[in-house]
Amino acid sequence: MNILITGVNGFIGQRLVEKLVQNHSVIGMGRSPLGGDESFTFIQGSFHETEDLHQLDGIPIDVVVHLAAVTGGSDEESALAVNVQGTRRLYRYLLDRGCSRFITASSIAATGSLHDDFMPLELPIPEDHPCLAKDAYGLSKAMVEDLTRYFHRMSPGADFINLRLGAVATDGKWTAPVMDDPPSLSVPFIQFGHVYVSDVVDGLIKIINAPPKDRVITCNFVGPDVSASVPSLSLLRSLLGDQAAVYDLSHFDDAKNQYKPLYRMDRLVEEFGFMPKKSFRST
């Protein structure tokens, strides 16, 4: 396949290219030169700039893995102009040139989980949890997911896959903080939804190689267990306080789910047969 990767300079992009070039033709797009790597076609430019996109004219593209974005902490102007309008421009360009598979790096921040006062509607948090974001980044990621649903309605037969990635961590260089049990804390939900970059890359390769379908789906993509040193139920009771009684937390009462993530990943398993493997627990 001919695979376009945006954000090829980034944390995930560089690692993904290293593996994909072994079996596919890769076109990488990024803002900074990569130092003469000749294993793939490099396009220097920004995905959200029309003149930069035209550098792709004449290059066949079967799949795009859209990783580039302005990240957490961005203001409304940047988040909406780059993440939303820029993605619209990129996807319209690719659709008009025959690309039919779109793998989009969304974020669990699309739920609103960047804020301390975020209260999910359901636990574990489902893949289609609506946007309750109070930050521009989370809002922009939810809007991009809506954009893919719009494009799917306009382009029957196309395959749109939105991956709500957790906080991506470097393998071996991040471990869950040690906490008392029960913990006493007030922190955003997103802090307990980490995933190691090696799992992200392995999952992306599995998804890229899966048979295409006529669909638009959103999948949570976090680590295989909660990124905390205490059981999930204890953690949730601390995070939610008196509000814990509002939720059905029986999922975490089951012994086999004692340390399971706060985000459901049923769809990732059902659609692609993939489950992240690398645990954040030391035992």
197-209 and 11-20 are packed helices; what angle lies between their axes, rounded to 10 degrees? 50
Domain range annotation of the chain: 2-172+187-226+262-272
Q: Could you give the 3-state DSSP secondary structure of residue 248?
A: coil
pTM assigned to the model: 0.95
Q: What per-residue confidence (pLDDT) applies to 161?
A: 98
β-partners of residue 185 are none
Calculate what percentage of the chain has a pLDDT beyond 70: 98
Q: What per-residue confidence (pLDDT) applies to 24?
A: 96
Mean pLDDT of 241-267: 95
Q: In the structure, what pLDDT confidence band is assigned to residue 282 with cuts at 50, 70 and 90?
A: low
242-281 burial string, b = 16+ CB within 10 Å, else e? eeeeebebeebeeeebebbbbbbbebbeeebebebebebe
Q: Which two tokens stand for residue 41?
A: 């076609």
Residue in 165, 145, 129, 125 with CA at minimum distance from that of residue 276: 165
Instruction: Tell how strand 167-169 and strand 194-196 pair up.
Output: parallel
CA–CA distance, 149 with 125 (Å, rounded to integer): 21
Q: What is the pLDDT of residues 43-75, one digit of tens each?
A: 999 999 999 999 999 999 999 999 999 987 889
Q: What per-residue confidence (pLDDT) applies to 32?
A: 83
Calculate what percentage of the chain has a pLDDT beyond 90: 85
CATH level 3 topology of 2-172+187-226+262-272? Rossmann fold (3.40.50)
Q: What per-residue confidence (pLDDT) applies to 187?
A: 81
By mean pLDDT, which of 22-26, 121-125, 143-147, 171-175 is the weakest? 171-175
By mean pLDDT, which of 131-145, 168-182, 210-224 is the weakest? 168-182
CA–CA distance, 256 with 264 (Å, rounded to integer): 15
